[in-house]
Structure 1
Amino acid sequence: MRVIDNQTIGALLSAQAGARGDKPALVDGDGKVRYTFGQLNDGARRVASALLALGAGRGENAAIWAPNMPLYLDVAFGCAKAGVPLVMANTNFRAYELEQVLRQTEAATLFVADGAGRPGEFPEILRELCPELADAPPGRLAAARLPHLRRVVFLGDESRPGMFSWPEFLALAAGAEEARVTACEAAVVAEDVFAILLTSGTTGTPKGAMLTHANFFYVAATVSGCLGVSPGDRLCIPLPFFHAYGFGMVLTALAAGAAVVALDRFRAPELLQAIEGARCSLVFGTPTMYVAALEELARREYDLSSLRGGNTAGAFCPPELAEAVIGRMGAREFGVFFGMTEAYCTINRPDDPPERRVGTIGRAMPGMEVRVVDPRTGLEAPAGTAGELCVRGPAVMKGYYKMPEATAKAIDADGWLHSGDLARADADGYCVVTGRIKDLIIRGGENIFPAEIEEFLFTHPKVAEAQVVGVPCDYYGEDVVAFVRLKDGCTATSLELKRYCRERIAIIKVPAKFFFVDSYPLTASGKVQKFRLRELAARMLAEEADRG
């Protein structure tokens, strides 16, 4: 990526528009070009101009509640140029979560789509929260439950009560002085907040992580460099844009001058069709997405000959799964990447040894520091010893929005972000995640890492996925329970899986109970909500006890 003086997202887009204005930036799954870099930059400038005409600007936040769609990028890059931090709301939110997030982040402008599955669902929820929309002139909302929200822009052509339609919103930019937008963009600095991303909700209430332009500029330049992304590449991104991993990969493409091939939502056939139809060279997704893609690939053939690599993140990836992506999907440079909403951390490079690309989460990204510490003492753990993974460097968030206590708890006085993940690092710096501190199972005084059991269960020929949690136990303190999803057409019994485990792993790691499921409770970004599995296991075990 060509180095630019003002390392902001708006300046990055302007630079690529100048260098590659007529080249594709966003491509449909069938290969049709939706935006060139020049068109994307022009759209972003119109959004910035309309925001300024409305009186929005530095000092207030905007929010977007929408699935992956071209207008999402207009809004995101337009806010970047206008210096307005953008809150990226989860498409799984309903009234309670949306109200909570909009109040917490004090969003003054909301961009809202029609829905993410059912037509009209998002405006319907918004009207429930803001009945005042029915009588409010667009741009002059005064809502009791959302006191900061003044403007709602509907991401569609239709007029909605109290909202600007998209054409009405863009009309505000007509006749605006180009110099005003240029000056506003130039006033944005790298340390300004670019986006407020909500933590995934795997543990409860989301928090708003403030990611600066510098954070994302670093990520875009570094990841594209580590993966060798070039202007000729097409990146298949089935991840939601509101997720740090998803939008980070969009910016990775932007930094390299490559094209994004995005899906409106994940479906395995559409993912494989997009790789085939748009001739994608790199693919990014969560482990659950790859499991579904491999199952679909077993049912039908797809031409994936254009695919050379990519990576996975967002959850634990068994080595066998990574090997299957390399072998069956032909992604020979595929590896594992690790990060969280608050920071990008480690990455595998295409030239890493194959066993490390599938068996580890890689080593620290250039410029980042990674260490493993004993959670009890805070001292660095010896190589090969499990402890809490901590990171420091240019990818670490600025903090949680208006949550100083939570920020201080996450980032210590020396700038180390405490991930809450248990990991071990070898002498060369390659890391292996063994689980979350909160997920650690202590059975009879022995520490048990769920990820190790999940990785083992994946070796059973009938098992498609496995999730392991701890449940309270009077005798041992905690016991091990496994939720297993079998491969299509397979059947198995608890006794069969217990015997498989007892013959191959330590007895303390053998799950006391197996529950067979068709799916797992997931966040919209594809992470398994283990706290819900623990609740489900406790309830099912209690019901079994009541039945005697």
Structure 2
Amino acid sequence: RHSPLLAGRTRVFWDRLKGVMHCHNPIRTITDAANRMAMSSRDVILMYLPLFHCFGLYEGPLMSWVTGAKVVLTTMFEAGETLRLIEAEQATVMNGFDAHFYDLCHHPDVDQTDRSSLRTILLAVGMASSEPVARLAQEKFCPTLSAWGMTEVGVGATRTFLDAPVDDRCVESGHPLPGYEFKVIDPDTGDVLPPSTMGELCVRGYATMQGYYKRPEATAEAIDGEAWFHTGDVATIRDDGSVRFLGRYKDMLKVGGENVDPTEVEAFLLEHPAISKAQVIGVPDPRLSEVACACVVVEPGQAINDGDLDAFCRGKMASFKIPRHLLVVDDYPMTSSGKVQKYLLRQMAAEQLGLNGG
């Protein structure tokens, strides 16, 4: 049971990977997740996430293995092809990130596609900017579930319940699966923070990794003496134990000494009628050290400039949170699993804005 079963990969820096060693225990995690989702051999899982990504592997072939569900695999994600397969294969379950479901919900064929076979979607949400997509997916497809996880903790360590209120399924990241403990700490002091206070999420449980392959120093840095894995994620935990993922600490901005949560600003920018997608990054500033830069995709036929953005934000949020720079882009650099590569956005912004660093 404790012999290594697999080694997942997780990126540390742009050009370095860590091997994440797991024993057989995560198989039980998949079984617990399947039970919470009421998975059975009657389900048809449509999986377009790459299988080298833990989300794709665990929620696709391994979920099929423990439940007997059929799994339909594709070589890559393409919204039109995915809609065709939903109807052709009578898919009942789908998984993905907000970028996938934004494309699906806005595809011109969505309303002509028979989506009635779908019964649930597992959508990784929690960040404020994910909420509009989660709510739209409820309208266009079926009830969604939310989850949080990462390679080091056996992938999905939380999941919402099927009968949870819509607000919880669109905003929260779910309750812990059996065998997991969670806490939120002050990353500077290590003190456990009270409910609903933002801090670093720490996880302890039977399915957390055994360690990083041939990286004992990195393992010791990530897992403390009491077996808590320090995730580097920003989160809150409610009184009822529900976890909400808010982002990565490395993506948090420090503007003139003030902490800025980029997902909060992104969610606000999405209220602008000309903006269809928003990502906020930090860029160097000689006075404040760092300021916010909004990288936006505009709606067809719309336009926006720096003055428009400043007028929209002024008086509605703290001045230090308002983006000082605006970049209008066609789309974002993405990983093959559908995550925005913010480090590439920072490089792009530094080049286009003529800034040093980034």
If the length of structure 1 is used for normalisation, what is the TM-score? 0.61
What percent of counterpart residues are identical? 36
Deviations along 1:396-421, one digit per CA (max 9) or x if unpaired, are: 11111111111111111111111101
Distance 2:222 2:146 in 1: 24
CA contact (8 A) 2:80 2:109 kept: no
Alignment of 1:510 with 2:322, yes or no, is: yes
Alignment correspondent of 1:243: 53
Alignment correspondent of 1:196: 7
Amino acid at match of 1:474: P
Alignment correspondent of 2:147: 337
Greater strand content: 2
CA contact (8 A) 1:464 1:487 kept: yes
Quote the RMSD (CA, aligned, Å).
2.0
Alignment correspondent of 1:277: 88
CA contact (8 A) 1:220 1:254 kept: no
Once the 2 structures are TM-superposed, how far is the Cα of residue 263 of structure 1 from its aligned partner?
A: 1.3
Distance 1:527 1:371 in 2: 25
- Secondary structure of 2:241's aligned partner: coil
Deviations along 1:353-388, one digit per CA (max 9) or x if unpaired, are: 111110111121121111101001111111111100
Once the 2 structures are TM-superposed, how far is the Cα of residue 206 of structure 1 from its aligned partner?
A: 1.4
- Secondary structure of 1:206's aligned partner: strand
Alignment of 1:339-418 (within 5 A): 339-343=149-153, 344-418=156-230
Change in CA separation of 1:321 and 1:240 when aligned onto 2, cut-off 3 Å: same
Change in CA separation of 1:200 and 1:297 when aligned onto 2, cut-off 3 Å: farther
Distance 1:404 1:292 in 2: 41
Distance 1:301 1:488 in 2: 21
Amino acid at match of 2:72: V
- Secondary structure of 2:279's aligned partner: strand
Once the 2 structures are TM-superposed, how far is the Cα of residue 246 of structure 1 from its aligned partner?
A: 0.5
CA contact (8 A) 1:315 1:527 kept: no
Once the 2 structures are TM-superposed, how far is the Cα of residue 244 of structure 1 from its aligned partner?
A: 0.5
Once the 2 structures are TM-superposed, how far is the Cα of residue 212 of structure 1 from its aligned partner?
A: 2.1
**Unmatched tracts of structure 1, length 5 or more:** 1-189
Alignment correspondent of 2:68: 257
Deviations along 1:279-310, one digit per CA (max 9) or x if unpaired, are: 11111012111111112156762110111212
Greater helix content: 1
Change in CA separation of 1:314 and 1:428 when aligned onto 2, cut-off 3 Å: closer
Alignment correspondent of 1:423: 235
Distance 1:497 1:303 in 2: 39
CA contact (8 A) 2:147 2:158 kept: yes
Alignment correspondent of 2:139: 327
- Secondary structure of 1:372's aligned partner: strand
Give the paired residue count.
Answer: 352
Alignment correspondent of 2:349: 537
Distance 1:354 1:277 in 2: 28
Query: Which structure has the greater CA radius of gyration?
Result: 1
- Secondary structure of 1:342's aligned partner: helix
Alignment of 1:303 with 2:131, yes or no, is: no
Alignment of 1:208 with 2:19, yes or no, is: yes
- Secondary structure of 2:189's aligned partner: coil
Change in CA separation of 1:263 and 1:315 when aligned onto 2, cut-off 3 Å: farther
Amino acid at match of 2:24: H
If the length of structure 2 is used for normalisation, what is the TM-score? 0.93
CA contact (8 A) 2:125 2:245 kept: no
Change in CA separation of 1:532 and 1:202 when aligned onto 2, cut-off 3 Å: farther
